[in-house]
Every structure is written in C-alpha cells, then in structure tokens.
Chains A and B, each alone.
Chain A
C-alpha cells in the first residue's frame, strides 16, 4: 500500500524532533522538574540546564550567552523584536522598513504596528526574491528606527544579502532584525560579523521541539518587554521557562550547526538531482526563487495548467508530504503573497509546489517523488481545460 510509505519533503513546515534531542529533554520533565527560579538544588539544576542551552545557542550564531533570550518560537520572537523595538524607539521615529515576502509573523505584526501609528515600507523583491540594497538605502528616512529582512524565505528559499543590509543599518544607526527561522542549520550565520542587532530562531525547524525559540538581542540594543510578569530572562521575558524545551533547543542547535557544510551539501546535491529530474521529465514548469542563493533543501516550482491543492492531495495519496502556495490550500482567495511579490502570474501561482528536503531524505526518495509527481501532474493535466486548449493550439 502506497499510503503506508511516508516520504516527508516538507521540512520548511517543520521537522521531526531528533531522537537525541528527545533523550536530552526527557529527564527535565519529571526527574529534574524544579522551577529554575526557586532556591533549592533541584531548581539550580534546571537553572544550569537553561544556561547550558543558552551557551549552545550563542555559540551557534556567534553571540554571547547574555544576548540570548528564550521564547515560545519564531512567531513570538518576531512579534517581540518588532513591537519591542518600535515601542522603545518611538520617540526617535516611527518608520519601519521590511519586505513584501516576510512570514506572516512579521507582516501581520507590521499591520498591527500601523494601527498603533507606525508607518511601514514593504520593499518589493526582484523576480528571484532578492531585496535590492539600493532599495533599502532609498527607503531610509530620518524617522526609520527598524529594518527587518528575513534571512531566507520559507516558500521560495531565497537567501538575502544580510551582511550588506546589516552594514547599512549599523552605519545609519538603525536597528536591524532578521527572521532567521529558516536559515539556522542551513546557512552560516554570525551575528557579530553580519552586524545583526536582533535575530529570531525557532527550534522545530531544525529537528528541535515545537514551541521553542529564541530572540538574540545584541548587547546595548534597547527593546521593550513583550511578556510582562516574573523576573525570568533578565526581566525581559516573563514566564516560567520551558526547561525541557530549552534543553531540547540547545541540543538541536548544537547538532544543526555541527558539520553544517557537509550535511547541507548532501541535501543540496539531492535537491539538485530532484530538480534536474523534474525538469527533464515534466514539461511546462518553472522554478521560483533564486538559482543559487537559496536554501539547500528548497524546491519551489509552478506546474502550468494545474492547481496546487489537487497536486498535494495526489502526492499525499502516494505517501508524499509537500506543500503549495495555491489559494485553495489556505482557505484564502489569493495565492501566496511571496509568489505574487516575485511576479509569478496569478493563474500560474495557483499551480505551485514546494518540496523541502531534510536529513532523512535519500536518493530513493528523490526517485520515488519524481515518479509520483510526474504521474500526478499528468493525471491533473489530462483533466485540465487549460491543458486541452494548450495542446490544441500546439497542433
């Protein structure tokens, strides 16, 4: 039965928690369950575990442990970074620059900030998904307090020139935030060399537990608290720490950046093979995103004449997990804002497929996905009036 097989190619959505990560987390549930804020030994163990994890996160991104603040994930980190910076700097200015292709955790937070009286510039990317440095320079005004540009895009995988953007921000005295949720473990990151002031990361994207994350806040950067309450996280982020989650996050990020180059090369090679196979076997498709500056596991393709949700359903039937930017998949009316922003024609954007490869994928998976994808596309094209018209025109 095809259904019993699972080929998971949706690693940008989430990843399976690494068994070693789970093992590391387990003792912190019912064995060492002390509240890190308490005073006895049981509690001190929890405190030490958190500080160990903090060091690991710091090392992974080139920060110091004092600059790492644990959160509940990418969404909270993004919200905190934007709202905390905006409110703490509003005397200086009320203008924020971001991009049209950010995750909704950024875009919807910006919409909220607009309601609070801030103004937001959304920079359009070029057709590969890259933000132009000149556009950033041109958008900066006297009132600009914050620039937020994602490190790598979750849909099309395009990697931004973060170092250059960081440099401009530092020069102009503007706070620079990057949503690096998709980049950790995939792209070398050093917050110090790259002039990054704030960075969001999320555990479940690199084989860590869901609901865990961190915000890097460069020493000296002023940012309001977002969650108010107890004195945890140096009074910046209240709430009893998710000790098992934080421990898991620490182990996961340490593993993610260990031998990163070797591991990502393997995934990139697999991805390139799959891409080549798809383009040889299936006509009328186009790659979205940048040819080279993209996440190693990312494929985003539009298949003409068919719609993405039906493609996902057929792949699911064959035991393949993938995703689409089609409107029908999300319950919204518009296809993906990212595909729209890079200028993919709307009727073609409905036929997009995202495959994101990860550590457990093999050459066998690549072969299987290519074979099933070809079958699925052919099946849907055979019932598509657009394809029928196209074939008639060609005759």
Chain B
C-alpha cells in the first residue's frame, strides 16, 4: 500500500531526534487521533541549518516527517514556509488517500516551528494561507 520511498523513509527516518537548544519548535496532532508531530529547527541568517522531528503515528506520518524535514533543511524560512504538503506527497512518490492528512500535519508542524521562532525573535507570526490551519489538535480527527 505504501510506495518504496515511503517505506525507505519509514524504515530509515532522516532527521529523527530532538534539538535541545532549538530556535523554534512546532507541535501538531493529537494522541487521540493517533498522530503527533514535533518539529525542532535551528536558524542562522534566516536559513534552517538543522531540523529534527519526533513523531508518534503510522508509517505515513513518520515518512512524511522524515521527508518534510529533509525538504526544508538548508532552505530559507520563506522557502520552508512555502513548502506545501503536496511537495511532501510528491517527494514520497504518493500517499494513499486516507494518509494524505499526514503530509498536511508535516506542513503544519513546520509552520508552527517557524512561527515559534518568529515569535521568539519578537516578530509577528506569518498567517496561514486562506486564514486557516489544517492542524487537527482540535476535537475531531481528520
């Protein structure tokens, strides 16, 4: 049911771990929905110099975290912000339709980490496009 790419990132996740002195941390998801993602970023001169993740979730959630962190590493904050869940799905060579929300979670997690960084820097957080966030830390699971 999963592509080889998904299985590769699931079996050998890139950037798994914690950054104890992270400049920004994002956390999305909900244990009762069966997935939580935590994204840590280090930022220097507007560039994401390091990124790590911790994920509780299914194979697609873990692979999405791994792929998303790989896609934003070394990118500017603006570039990282623009990375959509579609880019994650494409890079993973597809996700089953019921699992696409995992890639959305990864996008949301990165947005939260970036805004956490911005707030800590005394900057105003960036607005989600369309004014809403997909993150499902509200009551219902997606």
Of B32, B60, B61, chain A has the most CB atoms within 10 Å of the CB of B32
Q: Which of A314, A329, A347 contacts B31 (CB 8 A)?
A: A347
Inter-chain contact A346/B32, CB cutoff 8 Å: yes
Identity of the chain B residue whose Cβ is nearest the Cβ of A313 in the assembled complex: B59
Q: Is B57 an interface residue (CB 8 A)?
A: yes
* Docked pose: A329 CA to B32 CA in angstroms: 15
Closest to B96 in A: A331
Judge if B16 is at the interface, Cβ distance under 8 Å: yes
In the complex, whether B119 has a CB less than 8 A from a CB of chain A is no
From B34-42, B72-80, B81-89, B124-132, the one touching the partner chain is B34-42
Q: Once the chains bind, are A386 and B56 in contact (CB under 8 Å)? A: yes
* CB <8 Å contact, A326 and B59: no
Is A326's CB under 8 angstroms from B55's CB? no
Pick the residue among A314, A331, A350 that contacts B34 (CB under 8 A): A350
B117 at the interface (CB under 8 A from A): no
Q: Is the CB of B141 within 8 A of A307?
A: no
Q: Taking the complex as formed, is B123 at the interface, i.e. its CB lies under 8 A from any CB of chain A?
A: no
Interface size class of chain B, counting residues whose CB lies under 8 Å from the partner chain: 20 to 34
Secondary structure of the B contact surface, majority rule: mixed
Contact A306 B10 (CB under 8 A): no
Contact between A388 and B57, CB atoms less than 8 A apart: no
Contact indicator B34/A307 (Cβ below 8 Å):
yes
Q: Which of A297-354 contact B (CB under 8 A)?
A: 305-307, 309-310, 313-314, 317, 326-329, 331, 333, 335, 346-347, 350
Chain B residue at minimum C-beta to C-beta distance from A317 = B11
Cα separation A314 to B10 with both chains bound (whole Å): 9
Residues from chain A with a CB closer than 8 A to the CB of B2 are 313
CB pair B13–A383 under 8 Å, yes or no, is yes
- Pick the residue among B7, B17, B34, B142 that contacts A326 (CB under 8 A): B34
Bound: A383/B55 CA distance, A: 6
- Is B137's beta carbon under 8 Å from chain A? no
The answer to whether A333 and B57 touch (CB under 8 A), given A313-B10, A383-B13, is no
Q: Determine if B62 is an interface residue (Cβ-Cβ < 8 Å).
A: yes
Is there contact, CB below 8 Å, between B38 and A385?
yes
CB distance from B7 to the nearest CB of A (A): 8
Residues on B with beta carbons closer than 8 Å to the beta carbon of A329: 58
Q: Which of B7, B11, B56 contacts A384 (CB 8 A)?
A: B56
* Contact B10 A385, beta carbon cutoff 8 Å: no
A322 to chain B, nearest CB (A): 15
Give, as a whole number of angstroms, the nearest-CB distance from B110 to chain A: 15
Residues of chain A touching chain B, judged by Cβ–Cβ distance below 8 Å, are 305-307, 309-310, 313-314, 317, 326-329, 331, 333, 335, 346-347, 350, 382-388
Known: A313-B10, A328-B57. 17 other contacts (CB 8 A): A305-B56, A307-B58, A309-B59, A317-B11, A326-B58, A327-B33, A328-B61, A333-B33, A347-B34, A383-B13, A383-B16, A383-B53, A383-B54, A384-B54, A385-B38, A385-B55, A386-B31
Q: List 24 A-B contacts (CB under 8 A).
A: A305-B56, A306-B56, A307-B34, A307-B57, A307-B61, A310-B59, A310-B62, A317-B11, A327-B33, A327-B34, A329-B58, A331-B98, A333-B33, A335-B34, A346-B32, A347-B31, A350-B34, A383-B55, A384-B55, A385-B36, A385-B37, A385-B55, A386-B56, A388-B18
